[in-house]
Each structure stands twice: as C-alpha cells, then as structure tokens.
C-alpha cells in the first residue's frame, strides 16, 4: 500500500510510514495477531500481548500527535484503539482461541455444537450448579457461593490447557477434528464464565445499604 501523505510504499500492517513518519490508517479489522505483529498461534509467551501492545503503542500514542493535522490525529487514535482491542482479545486464552477459530475459517461457537454428544448432561450439571448457587445466596452462605465460583474458574483453566493441546498437537495448523473440538470446548467455556461471574458478584442484598 502507499502512504496517504507522501505516497511512498508502506509495508502491510505498518503503523507509520518509513519515509515521512506519518501515522497510517489501521488495516482491515478482525486479526488481532496482525494488529500486534504477533504470530497467529495459541501458545504465546507469557506477557507477550502486553509487551507487543506497549512497543507498538509508543509509536502511535495520540498525545504524540496532539499538534498534527486532523487526519493524522484521527489515524493515531484509531491505531491506539485497535491495539487496545487486540490486546484484550489475545491476553485472554479463551478469546485468543475464539479468534484463532475465526481466522482459520471455522464457525464461531454458539453453544449448539452438533458434535457435543454430552451437551445434555453438561447443561443439566450447569442447571444444578446454578440451583446450588441460588440456595447458597438465599441462605447467606457466601463461602459456598465462592466455592462454586472457584470450581468454575478451575474448569476454565483446565479448558485453556486442553485448547493449548488441541492447537499445538499437530505442530502447525490444527486439523478439522481439533477445530471442532476447540469449538465444543469454547461453547462450554461460556457457561463456566457466566457461572463464575455470577458466583463472584457481590450479593446486592448484603451490600451496605442494599437490604433491610
């Protein structure tokens, strides 16, 4: 592509023009790995998304372009926002897996994966856990509620480990079976996340001023 200012050739994904230094408009959305200049992989070194965001954000921080012309100020703000969005997506293991599924051309999980033979039993288990959580809250047993939340978080950590195995098992792009299995796990992860958030939320009836 060419720079909007000096018309020099600019590498795809470059934040600024190598010739005139002007901030370039962000490329097409949808690939957080490209936005941060990272390889398209599930296994990233700890802290790598944060490091990449910080390194690239310094080049386009809007404060550095406060006196630039309106077009460049807009590009700087858009690039900074895209870097932040990409970081949030890749810093979380489950969101990173969902992004990989999408980029590899697999349908995003929607909770109705046809290959999940044990879905009925899983949903029944989730219903039972929610009933137990409601009973614990009704009885004022925050310890039991916290234990349910901790169990959900533990299951999410286990799912992240299974996803790492699936995406790395072939030493390259995962096959169709691995992609289907990853989608199945991500579908279930949504239930665990919702349960954990509900269990960890403070009971408004027991907050100061929240009840009689």
147 sits in which H/E element:
helix 142-168
Which pTM does this prediction carry?
0.81
From residue 30, how far is each of 33, 65, 104 by CA, in Å?
9, 26, 12
Please tell me the distance from the alpha carbon of residue 188 to that of residue 162, in angstroms, as a whole number: 12
| C-alpha span between 189 and 87 (Å, rounded) | 20
Q: pLDDT, tens digit, for every residue of 62-85?
A: 999 999 999 999 999 999 999 999
Enumerate the domain spans of the chain.
1-91, 119-206
Q: Structure tokens of 125?
A: 């288990």
The dotted CATH code for 1-91 is 1.10.287.110
Q: pLDDT digits over 131-145, tens only?
A: 999 999 999 999 999
């Amino acid at each position: 592509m060419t720079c909007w200012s000096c018309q020099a050739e600019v590498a795809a994904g470059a934040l600024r023009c190598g010739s005139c230094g002007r901030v370039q408009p962000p490329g097409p959305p949808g690939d957080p790995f490209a936005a941060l200049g990272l390889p398209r992989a599930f296994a990233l070194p700890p802290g790598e998304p944060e490091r990449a965001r910080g390194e690239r954000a310094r080049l386009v921080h809007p404060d550095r372009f406060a006196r630039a012309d309106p077009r460049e100020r807009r590009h700087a703000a858009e690039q900074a926002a895209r870097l932040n969005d990409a970081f949030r997506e890749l810093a979380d293991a489950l969101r990173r897996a969902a992004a990989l599924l999408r980029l590899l051309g697999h349908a995003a999980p929607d909770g109705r994966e046809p290959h999940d033979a044990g879905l009925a039993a899983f949903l029944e288990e989730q219903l039972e856990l929610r009933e137990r959580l409601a009973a614990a809250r009704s009885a004022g047993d925050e310890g039991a509620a916290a234990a349910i939340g901790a169990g959900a978080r533990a299951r999410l950590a286990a799912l992240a480990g299974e996803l790492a195995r699936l995406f790395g098992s072939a030493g390259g792009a995962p096959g169709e079976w691995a992609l289907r299995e990853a989608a199945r796990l991500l579908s279930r992860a949504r239930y665990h996340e919702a349960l954990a958030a509900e269990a960890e939320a403070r009971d408004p009836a027991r907050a100061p001023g929240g009840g009689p």
